Each structure stands twice: as structure tokens, then as C-alpha cells.
Amino acid sequence: MRQHQSICLLLCLWAMLGQGVSAQTTYQTPPQSIADLFNASPTPSVSFNKDGSMMLILERAGSPTIEDLAQPELRIAGIRINPAISGPSRASSFNNIKIKKTRSGEEIQIKGLPSNAKMSGFSLSQDEKYLAFANSEATGISLWVIDLTSFEAKKLTDPIVNQVFGNSIAWMSDNSLLVKSVNPSRGTIPKAPAAPVGPIVQETSGNAAPSRTYQDLLTNPYDEALFAYFMDSQLMKITIDGSKTPIGKPGLIKSMDISPDGNFLLVEAIQKPFSYLVPSDRFPYNVEIWKSNGELVKTIAEIPLDEVRPTGFDATVKGPRNINWRADKPATLYWAEAQDGGDPKVKVAERDMVFTLDAPFSGEKQKLAATSLRFGGINWSDDSFAILNERWFASRVEKKSVINPSNPSLAPRVIIDRSSDDIYTDPGEPVMTENEFGRNVLLRKGDLVYMTGDGGSPEGSMPFLSTFNTSTKEQKILWRSQAPYYERVTKVMNADATEFITLKESTDLQPNYWLVNTKKRIAPMQLTAFEHPYESLKGIQKQLVTYKRKDGLSLSSVVYTPEGYDSAKDRRLPVLMWAYPREYKSAADAAQVRGSKYTFTRLSWGSPIYWVTRGYAIMDQTEMPIVGEGDQEPNDFFIEQLVANAEAAIDHIVEMGVGDRNRIAVGGHSYGAFMTANLLSHTDIFAAGIARSGAYNRTLTPFGFQYEQRTYWESPEVYFNMSPFSFAHQVKTPILLIHGEADNNSGTFPIQSERYYNALKGHGATTRLVFLPHESHGYAGKESVLHTLWEMDTWLEKYVKNRK
């Protein structure tokens, strides 16, 4: 009874707390050593053609400006739209393209690219004579194509491409392009009503419809009209000379996929009614088969609104789902259907059934296989061999089985049955190659399937290339990364996997691509020479350390110290510990070492490693496992295990002679921010905390959060005890809160930081709240990121390095 009274008190206090005094400041810039690192030129992205003979090198500009982010934006139906272009408002893009011949090293600059290019959606034609891409302009998105003989680009269309939802460009077998364009007849954008015509009403008739918290949902009829307007699309066939032919009827098209033989289209189109409770990917939609000229062949499924779904990560929808083309057949569909009504609590022998339907789609669906867990896709090879994937989140079990598609009566033969958290026994994932249809299928030789994996081990990750014998379940390592490098296979070049391309890096070695041949026994050939972008980080020291929690559980962290630092001679350093908790169902799995000390020190906008240039020791990727084995749930032990993790990390950095116990900060982003607030609520072992874009009151996410599947009403004490808001009165350590004003992540509403700040302020805590205009869950604008780094640096200097 006392517990429930406390929860009621929590809700009342949350509602009663007033707004704090707010002020706006100008954007600030961090110290030069940090700013220079953030402003370093981005490394190009690389992709390869089918046989690996050609590299596509894509260059991008730096971060967008706050002016870019401040452009008009619609936040409706769970998506964010730039209304000026009928496309996504926050998509990344590239500004230059080069082609490089893999073996000769010849590098070719593409001519005729658009000025002020913002290119995306790159797609090679099946014969690899052309490369198509979309380019965002001021008034829309246009279609371009590059002739890979002349290496010249040309514009095929005006800005007609609709990229509001999903893929919009696909090559047809005759080297024409299927494009999802804006419906030419959609008219003008709906105008907002001068006044509402009435109240907004939602009603339920008693059917339970639990739903997680979502951002940017539809809220009124005007939102509905806007969503329908911007989704309104017409498929177009566009030839290399730019002529356009409408294909099929217009609609709210969410996806289109050409059959492997090019004769049919699989089209999904959203239908009404829309929902104010779930995002657009759960709106009703029809799945149709069209001929390539747009003639309707058959409606495969009419998928209803997905508002009412059982709770739990293993829950799914009723009826057909994941409808796709078989990669190894000219025109055969396959999909899964839940046999438990989508409810993981229902006990059944067969969770899902997989069905197929061959062209001309006039027959009955045929059962291909059944799964005991939830269906997770199929890796196709041919009509006698495929790998069926299934998984069950609650137990972390995943299975792979060999099936014979030509003889469905044969039971699947299990070849892998393991915990998805166990990285030491992870056999990797199959290597894929392109077949005659240009689709990805298994690279295999009889019973041998080629695999690549990260190679988890007590010494850290050591990626590998292997064969896996599906009859004997034996794995043979063909190649493995060797210290002091972290090297992984990115492209297998031949049928017996003796020649392949790797991405090789080390602590001070910028990742670059290499051509490796294990059969000819020749020295690997370097294919790219991207420069180290961080001159000031050369020479910093990095080590992967392991230590134990007080209950004996092994933990790890990656520790960085400044160049030349010697713990035996030099003064102890202030420390910034950065972490992100994770739940496990096995203590053995939780204790495994993750990551590698040989990876390149790559900085993202939110990295803590900037502060190694400011004289701090950094504990990055600090493991914070929360374990609940068997019937126990990890979050029943969240606080006690979280505190034990932090205490063990502090003890170790101090025992190393590196860290000053009285000058250690803790920080994290999203769930890491939640972790930080909890640590400061229940300990006094840190000098300061930094919490970015977190959720602090779990009663605002009552139908589950992170990996917690129970609802607030099933486990109110868990929600109360895990909420830092509940213990704001206990926080005595300075805490910096930063949040994107336009956060669209599920559960981390900006009000989470606002109300938590008010609670802290109301109890006299030392705290600061920073809202970043126009920023989402991850921060993108140059001014925003630099200001965030300034805020963090100022906080650390005041409350950690120079702590009195």
C-alpha cells in the first residue's frame, strides 16, 4: 500500500512542479583542441560493384548548419517531411562521386554532377552500365543517371521524385527506371483551417490496445490531410533518355519492389483509417501484385490497422507479414503468418508458418516451413537449399535451420541454436553473392556455407572469414584478423572465398580497404589511402581493460589516456566515464569482453574521447550489464547492479594509478543519460554527471521501455524505483542535462528533461538544463554540436578537473 501511495505522490508532484526560469544564450564554441577534432573532414564512404572490380567513393560535406535544420518541417505520422521537396527533412547526403578501379587504382572524377549536390539513393543497373541517384534541390528531388562508360552524369527528370516514405528508385531489366514520383494530379497543399470545426475525439470500445510511446503522431484532421497529400504518389517508368510513362494507379504508395525476372511489381499502398496512436508504418495497407505495365494482377493481402497488439517484444501482427520475393525464383512470393495470434503468451508448438505463392498468383498459398520461435527471415540459395532464421527475444534464443524449398514436407534441420548475447560462440552471418537475377543469395559449395563474423573472444573481437558445414556443424576458419589490427571482410570476390576485400584499421591507423588473396600467397594490396583525420589524437594511449564486479562478474572498458602519460610518474588524471546499460539473461554472456583495443579512434559528434586532449582519462564503452537469469527479470535488480558496475569501474581506474577517485564524472546519451541520473540518485561516488536526451520518469512510458516488457500496471514498483524523478531529492552531485528540442525517439520526450530539471531545482540540486533548438535525438547542426561540447567542457572543468 505504501508503494502505491508513493507512486501516486510521484504523479501528483510531477503535475504540480512549475516551470523553471529560462533564458536563451548564443551558441558557444568549445576549446580549439575539441573544435578542430569535430571540424575534421569526414572520411568518404565506399561501396563495390558485383564482382568488386569497381569502387564507388562517395564524399560528403561536414555537418549541416542550424539554418539547414531550421527549414520548414512537418512532423506527422511518425515521420519528418521537408514540405518543399516531398522528402525527408533530416536525411544525409553526398556532394561528390568518384569511381576507382580496384586493381589498377585508376580514380575517375564523375563529370557533370549537380551544383550544390545533395545526392542519395544510389543504385547500379543490373548490367552495371549506369548508376542512378536522387538529388535534392530547393523545390524537390530530381532523378539523375551516370553513364559508367563515359563517366558523365545527366539529369533525367525535373524534381518529381517522392522520397517521403521508403525506397523510390529501382532498375528494370531493360535499363529503364521505376520511380516513385509525386502524383502529378495531387493539387495544392492543404491549407490549415482558420478555426477547428470541432473537438478531437478518440474512442475505444473496450478492446485493449497497449502501445509504446511514439513521437510525431497525427493529432487532427489537418494532419491527416497533409499526410495523405505528401504520400500521394504515382509510379513512373523513366528511360535513359528521360521519357516518362505512368505505371498503374496513383495512391499512398509506401513501397514497390520488382520481381527478380522483372515481370511483376509488388506494391504496398497505405489505406484509411489513419491512426492517432501509432506511426504510419502501422497504418492499414494493401499488398498488390501488378504486371510491369501497371495492370493489377491480384491483391495479396489487406493488412488492417495495427493499433491492437499484445505486449512484449515477441508480439507481432495477425495475418500475413514480411511479404517479399524469393531471391532464387523468377517470381515467387513468401511471407509469414503468426499461429499464436501474435501473442507470445499463447502456448503453441508452431509460432509462425511460412507460405509461398508462385506466379501467376492464381493458385493457393503453399506451406514452406513452420517455426517454434518468431520468424526472422530466409537466406535463399536455390530450390534445394535455404537457411530459415528464427528468434525469441525474451530468452535471447536464435536458431538457423536448413530447409529444402522443393520438399516442404522435410522438417527444418537445425544447424545453429544459441544465445544471441553469446558473442564468443557466434558463428557469424552468411556471406551473400548476387545470382542471375541480381539478388543476394548464399555463397555456398554443397554443404559448406561461407560466413563472416566479429570473432568475439576474451582478448576482444578478432573478425574472421570461415566455412560452416551445415551437415556436421563444424566451422573452419579460413582467415582471421591479427593483432595489432582490427580487420574485417567487406567483399568476397570469388566462389571459393580465396580473394576478398577487407577494411583494415588500428588505433592510429585510419580504416582503409585492402585486397587479400590467400591462395596466391601474395602480399595484400592497399586499395584506398584515406588520411588520418585527427592529427591531435595520434599518440594517445588506448587499452582494453578487464576487472570484476563485487559479485565476481567480469567487466570491461576501453581506457584512453593523453599522449605520453605515465601513471608511474605523472599525477592522477580526472576521468570521464561514458556508458550505456544493457540487459542480459545470462551472467556468462554479460561477462564477455566486447569491442577491441585495435579499432581506430573514430570520433562521432557525441564521443567522450574529445576530452583526452584536455588532460582527462576516458573510460569509454564501460560495460554496465544488468543480469536476470531464468524467470528473473534484469530490471528487478537494476539499481543494485548498476551501482556495483560503477563502483567496480572506479576502483579499477584508481587501482591502475590513472584516475583520481575524487575527480570522476559519469555520462551517457539516451539510456546512458537515464543511467547517469540513476547513479547520481543512489550514490555520491562521482564528482559530476552529464545526461543527454534521456528519460527520467518511467510512468511516462507505461507500456514498456528499452528491454522492459512488463507494463507499469504489472510492475509499478519497477517503474517507480527505476525512475530518477522518484529520487530527485537525493541528488547532491552536479548534473548537466542536454536535450534536443525536437527529440523524436520513443520515450525520450523533451518534457522528460524539463520536468526532471524542475524536480532537481525544487530540491536544491546543482543542475543546468540546455535545450537545443531543432535538434532531434541525435544532434546534427554544427552550431548545436559545438555548443554541446562547450557545455560539457565547461561543466567538466568546473566540477571535475578543478573540483575543490
Q: Region 468-497: what's the mean pLDDT?
A: 97
Cα of first residue to Cα of last residue in the chain, in angstroms, is 44
Number of alpha carbons in the 13 Å side-chain half-sphere of residue 362: 2
Torsion of CA 787, 788, 789, 793, to 10 degrees: 100
Dist CA 526 CA 487 (whole Å) = 13
pLDDT at 166: 81
DSSP 3-state of 544? strand
Q: Region 79-98: what's the mean pLDDT?
A: 95
Dist CA 318 CA 306 (whole Å) = 9
Phi-psi region of 377 (alpha: psi -120 to 50; beta: other; left: phi over 0): left
| Confidence grade of residue 6 (pLDDT, cut at 50, 70, 90) | very low
One-letter amino acid of 595: G
Condensed to tens digits (0 to 9), the pLDDT of residues 325-340 reads 999 999 999 999 999 9
Condensed to tens digits (0 to 9), the pLDDT of residues 211-242 reads 778 999 999 999 999 999 999 999 999 999 99
Dist CA 587 CA 591 (whole Å) = 6
Q: Are 359 and 264 in contact (CB under 8 A)?
A: yes
Dist CA 86 CA 73 (whole Å) = 11
CA 37 to chain centre: 24
Ranges assigned E (strand) in 599-704: 617-622, 625-627, 659-669, 688-692
pLDDT at 740: 97
DSSP assignment of 117-181: --EEEEEE-TTSSEEEEEEE-SS-EEEEEEETTTTEEEE-SSS-B--SSS--EEE-TTS-EEEEE
As given in the structure block, the three cell numbers for residue 679 are 547513479
Long-range pairs of 198-203 with CB within 8 A, sequence gap ≥ 24? 200/276, 202/276, 202/277
Length of the chain: 804
Cβ–Cβ contacts within 10 Å for residue 784, how many?
25
Pairing of strands 554-561, 525-526: unpaired
Cβ–Cβ contacts within 10 Å for residue 22, how many?
9
DSSP designation for 111: B
Element (H, E) at 675: helix 671-682
C-alpha distances (whole Å) from 230 to each of 68, 74, 114, 119, 135 are 21, 10, 25, 21, 18
Dist CA 98 CA 88 (whole Å) = 25
Pairing of strands 475-480, 525-526: unpaired
| Confidence grade of residue 98 (pLDDT, cut at 50, 70, 90) | very high
Sign of the dihedral through C-alpha 564, 565, 571, 576? positive
Condensed to tens digits (0 to 9), the pLDDT of residues 271-311 reads 999 999 999 999 999 999 999 999 999 999 999 999 988 88
Whether the pLDDT of residue 457 is over 80: the answer is yes
pLDDT at 300: 97
DSSP assignment of 483-512: TT-EEEEEEE-STTS-EEEEEEEETTEEEE
Condensed to tens digits (0 to 9), the pLDDT of residues 379-407 reads 999 999 999 999 999 999 999 999 999 99
Dist CA 706 CA 673 (whole Å) = 13
Residue with cell 501482427: 317
pLDDT at 206: 75
Nearest by Cα to 431 from 407, 457, 467:
467
Q: Are 322 and 335 in contact (CB under 8 A)?
A: yes
Ranges assigned E (strand) in 225-330: 232-238, 244-258, 264-270, 285-291, 296-303, 320-325
Output Rg (C-alpha) for the chain, integer angstroms: 27
One-letter amino acid of 555: L
Q: Are 4 and 12 in contact (CB under 8 A)?
A: no
Q: Are 710 and 722 in contact (CB under 8 A)?
A: no
Q: Are 734 and 688 in contact (CB under 8 A)?
A: yes
pLDDT at 22: 57
Least confident of 23-27, 164-168, 715-719: 23-27
Q: Region 203-215: what's the mean pLDDT?
A: 80
Cβ–Cβ contacts within 10 Å for residue 393, how many?
18
Dist CA 370 CA 384 (whole Å) = 17
- Among all residues, which ones are annotated catalytic? 670, 743, 777
Q: What share of the chain is helix, strand, coil (3-state, %, to 5)?
A: 15, 35, 45
Condensed to tens digits (0 to 9), the pLDDT of residues 748-759 reads 999 999 999 999
CA 571 to chain centre: 40
Distant-in-sequence, close-in-space partners of 631: CB < 8 Å, separation ≥ 6: none
CA 658 to chain centre: 34
Number of alpha carbons in the 13 Å side-chain half-sphere of residue 416: 26
Cβ–Cβ contacts within 10 Å for residue 459, how many?
14
Q: Region 442-461: what's the mean pLDDT?
A: 96
Residue with cell 530490471: 635
As given in the structure block, the three cell numbers for residue 650 are 572506479
Q: Is the pTM of this model over 0.75?
A: yes
As given in the structure block, the three cell numbers for residue 554 are 567480469
Q: Are 371 and 400 in contact (CB under 8 A)?
A: no
Q: Are 166 and 280 in contact (CB under 8 A)?
A: no
